């Protein structure tokens, strides 16, 4: 009887021990089986998470094994990146709202001062003669209005003037008027004819004077030289106004138009502003710089602006534009062929959103498509979020859905 009891006790102990052993083996094998059944999307190197591989192995970048990315690691609830409040503070994240604003783009460009070709005045010899004296002897010499330029001796005028004086003595008004008109046909200046009438003697000398203030742009006269009728002697130009030729990119072509008001500044006269208006938009683009050109007429009453000076030009958009949806300029992440912003969703989620941008002005950028009024966008720290989202496939790739990832604090 005692032997039977010991045998039953030993069998019970063995059964309990075996049950515990097999139960523990089953318990240890369950996670391994569960892990073996998980679906692997791809393998990646944690140091280079943007590069994916279709099979396990050693990383070509680092001396380490590739890590699997499982399908159940993607949480489908919300697209984007989840960031805790503490982590947002550590990253220095700033969020602002998209809002309707009136953007007034401002053109800023550089230009070169040039002489106003419309102010050019050619001074030629009224008749064949000799240049007896030059009062202006150098190019770019400044002259005042009425200042003498040259004295010419024209012997061919003597006979015509003597004939006019003889007819005038006859007292016939019709003949006198006809003789006087013949003097005008010989390009004889009115002041010379009056001098002949006052003195009663022929005047063979004439002084050419500057019709307005300016400078000598061209000098073709030499003292003592014989000149033919209508031979060019001087070319005078004015410094008030002057031309300003501006180069500007074709992307800002809409900001300039004929008649637009502009302001110019130069380092030569710090603190001073010169006003003017666009005279013409030149029709040809510079093939080397791929820029357009505009010709601006600048007021220069004190003649401070000189041809060849570089000046900075600023111009506002001509017409007031309607309000448009805009975000702070620093919120836009430009990638060459596209742009996106990081939108702040509820419960600390942040999602990259592709947008179509327009003009930029005053630190704001127009959003033509992709956002709505009141959407919250990240203006500081968005590049870190965008990078994390890209690495974790938060951005759309080949039509696939967004993924969601948690940034650990």
| pLDDT band with cut points at 50, 70 and 90 for residue 38 | confident
Q: Is the pLDDT of residue 129 over 70?
A: yes
The verdict on 350 and 265 lying in the same domain is no
Q: CB of 159 within 8 A of CB of 222?
A: no
Which residues, in sequence order, are CB contacts of 173 under 8 Å at separation 6+? Answer: none
Domain that holds residue 402: 80-103+322-407
Domain final residue pick, 292, 316, 340 = 316
Q: Is the pLDDT of residue 401 over 70?
A: no
Assigned token pair, 326: 């805009």
The verdict on 132 and 212 lying in the same domain is yes
| pLDDT band with cut points at 50, 70 and 90 for residue 226 | very high
Element (H, E) at 291: strand 291-298
Question: Among 190, 123, 173, which Cα is nearest to 152's?
Answer: 123
Domain final residue pick, 235, 263, 292 = 235
Residue 35: what pLDDT?
52
**Residue 147, number of CB atoms within 10 A of its CB:** 13
Domain containing residue 157: CATH number: 2.40.50.100
Residue 332: what pLDDT?
93
Domain final residue pick, 180, 206, 235 = 235
The count of domains in the chain is 5
Sheet of strand 205-209, all strands in order from the earlier edge strand to the far edge: 205-209, 148-153, 129-134, 226-227
What would the pLDDT profile of 227-243 be if each residue is shown by its tens digit?
999 999 999 999 999 99
The mean pLDDT value of the chain amounts to 81
The verdict on 52 and 195 lying in the same domain is no
| Widest pairwise Cα distance in the chain | 183
Q: Is the pLDDT of residue 393 over 60?
A: no
Query: By 3-state DSSP, what share of the chain in percent is helix, strand and coil, each rounded to 5?
Result: 25, 35, 35
The verdict on 391 and 331 lying in the same domain is yes
The verdict on 226 and 182 lying in the same domain is yes
Residue 321 main-chain phi, psi, to 5 deg = -85, 155
The verdict on 146 and 231 lying in the same domain is yes
Question: Among 380, 385, 383, 382, which Cα is nearest to 407's?
Answer: 385
**CA pair distance 267, 56, nearest whole angstrom:** 65
Element (H, E) at 185: helix 173-185
The verdict on 46 and 68 lying in the same domain is yes
> Which residue has tokens 């017409």?
319
Residue 16: what pLDDT?
44
Which residues does residue 189 pair with via DSSP β-bridges, in sequence order? none
**CA pair distance 76, 165, nearest whole angstrom:** 111
Share of the chain above pLDDT 70, in %: 80
The verdict on 349 and 374 lying in the same domain is yes
The verdict on 56 and 85 lying in the same domain is no
The verdict on 68 and 22 lying in the same domain is no
Which residues does residue 302 pair with via DSSP β-bridges, in sequence order? none
Q: CB of 70 within 8 A of CB of 39?
A: yes
| pLDDT band with cut points at 50, 70 and 90 for residue 364 | very high
Q: Is the pLDDT of residue 25 over 60?
A: no
Q: CB of 123 within 8 A of CB of 276?
A: no
Which range is most confident: 316-325, 328-337, 370-379? 370-379
| DSSP-assigned letter for residue 143 | E
Which residues does residue 48 pair with via DSSP β-bridges, in sequence order? 45
Element (H, E) at 342: strand 339-344
Please give the C-alpha separations between residue 307 and each of 223, 236, 238, 245, 310, in angstroms, as whole numbers: 28, 14, 11, 11, 9
The verdict on 64 and 1 lying in the same domain is no
**CA pair distance 139, 137, nearest whole angstrom:** 7
What number is the average pLDDT over the span 299-305?
90
What number is the average pLDDT over the span 123-129?
93
The verdict on 138 and 226 lying in the same domain is yes
> Which residue has tokens 């993607």?
74
**CA pair distance 352, 79, nearest whole angstrom:** 9
Residue 237: what pLDDT?
93
What would the pLDDT profile of 57-115 be if each residue is shown by its tens digit?
988 877 788 888 887 764 444 456 777 788 788 778 899 999 999 887 777 888 999 99
Residue 48: what pLDDT?
62
Question: Among 72, 71, 43, which Cα is nearest to 59's?
Answer: 43
Domain containing residue 301: CATH number: 2.40.30.170
């Amino acid at each position: 009887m005692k032997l039977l009891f010991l045998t039953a006790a030993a069998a019970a102990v063995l059964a309990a021990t075996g049950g515990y052993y097999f139960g523990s083996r089953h318990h240890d094998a369950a996670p391994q089986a569960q892990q073996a059944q998980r679906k692997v999307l791809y393998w990646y190197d944690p140091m280079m998470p943007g590069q994916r591989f279709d099979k396990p192995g050693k990383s070509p970048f680092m001396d380490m094994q590739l890590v699997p990315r499982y399908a159940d690691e993607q949480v489908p609830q919300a697209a984007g990146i989840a960031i805790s409040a503490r982590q947002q503070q550590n990253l220095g994240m700033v969020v602002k709202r998209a809002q309707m604003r009136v953007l007034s783009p401002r053109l800023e460009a550089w230009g070169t001062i040039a002489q106003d070709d419309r102010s050019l005045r050619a001074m030629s010899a009224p008749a064949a003669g000799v240049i007896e004296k030059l009062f202006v002897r150098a190019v770019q010499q400044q002259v005042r209005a009425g200042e003498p330029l040259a004295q010419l001796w024209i012997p061919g005028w003597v006979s015509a003037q003597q004939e006019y004086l003889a007819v005038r003595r006859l007292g016939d008004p019709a003949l006198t008027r006809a003789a006087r008109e013949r003097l005008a046909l010989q390009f004889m200046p009115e002041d010379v004819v009056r001098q002949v009438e006052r003195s009663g003697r022929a005047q063979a000398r004439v002084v050419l004077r500057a019709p307005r203030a300016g400078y000598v742009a061209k000098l073709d006269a030499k003292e003592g030289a014989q000149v033919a009728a209508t031979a060019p002697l001087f070319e005078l130009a004015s410094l008030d106004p002057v031309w300003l030729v501006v180069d500007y990119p074709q992307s800002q072509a809409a900001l300039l138009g004929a008649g637009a008001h502009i302001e110019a500044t130069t380092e030569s006269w710090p603190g001073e502003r010169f006003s003017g208006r666009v005279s013409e938009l030149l029709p040809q683009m510079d093939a080397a710089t791929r820029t357009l050109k505009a010709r601006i007429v600048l007021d220069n009453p004190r003649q401070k602006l000189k041809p060849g000076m570089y000046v900075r030009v600023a111009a506002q958009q001509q017409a007031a534009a309607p309000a448009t949806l805009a975000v702070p300029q620093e919120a836009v992440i430009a990638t060459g062929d596209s742009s996106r912003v990081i939108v702040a969703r509820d419960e600390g989620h942040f999602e990259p959103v592709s947008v179509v941008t327009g003009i930029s002005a005053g630190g704001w950028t127009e959003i033509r498509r992709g956002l709505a009024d009141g959407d919250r966008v990240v203006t500081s720290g968005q590049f870190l979020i965008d990078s994390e989202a890209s690495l974790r496939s938060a951005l759309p790739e080949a039509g696939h859905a967004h993924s969601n990832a948690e940034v650990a604090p």
